[in-house]
A and B are shown apart, each in its own frame.
Chain A
Amino acid sequence: MILLFYIAGAVAVISTVAVILQTNIVHALIYLILSLLAVAVCFYVLGAPFAAVLEAIVYAGAIMVLFLFVIMMLNMGQHSIDQERSWMGPKVWIVPSILASVLLAQLLTVITQYDHELALTTVDVMEVSALLFGPYVLAVELASLLLLAGLVAAYHLAKK
């Protein structure tokens, strides 16, 4: 089980690197789906099977299909791959990479001060839904409002 976490983590990191280096947008999307599925495996190992299932269905399923539809609508072919390649000189990468790695190093210094073992006990759907429809019912209602607002905004923006 522990080995599963590290392998899935490595897959997630490698495929995420592939996403940000890729010039073909459809390939990048496939790598992103791979990365999300690897993170779903991590969730499962960490004892959150419900979150893992939702990650696979909602993220890797629904949201990525939405991306795919938009990419198909924009209909970017070989022209866009050449354009991406011309935008991706090594000069573009240096400063953002250095800045992000400085921030990452600071974050890691803080994180490594904590010392606690994760017990990997499974928190199953029952407990999550009991909380979701108990103390957090207002948050669920607010989430539904947010989704409704997103729906109206997406319809209005994508309309001719």
Chain B
Amino acid sequence: MSTIPNDLRYAASHEWVRPEGDGVFTIGITEHAQDLLGDMVFVDLPDVGDQVNAGDDVAVAESVKAASDVYTPITGEVLAVNEELEDSPELVNSDPYGDGWLFKIKADDVAEVDELLDAEGYAASIEDDE
């Protein structure tokens, strides 16, 4: 059973969202997702300043097994990307909720996050997958 922190929100497509205040949200992929993908070899991130809509595929997590699209669960502007992943994509495996974060979004509408799954909802959704 993988870890699903209670203080985060989730998309059924396996992204997590952490509110950082001031309408800023950090986004990454869940421990469950990295476990499915296996060792990460490249992470293709959006450009800082990109305007993105919830549900857009904005990043690619490429592992030894497969290339997987990452969708932004939040509409807004890309404020920052995790440049560490350029040289150390394995951070997504070793610390998916911490150093392995992917990008930060300045939300157009902070209420959007309330529509996402909570930890319990996400846990239920991955059980349905199995």
A and B: interacting chains: no
Q: Contact residues of B with A, CB < 8 Å?
A: none
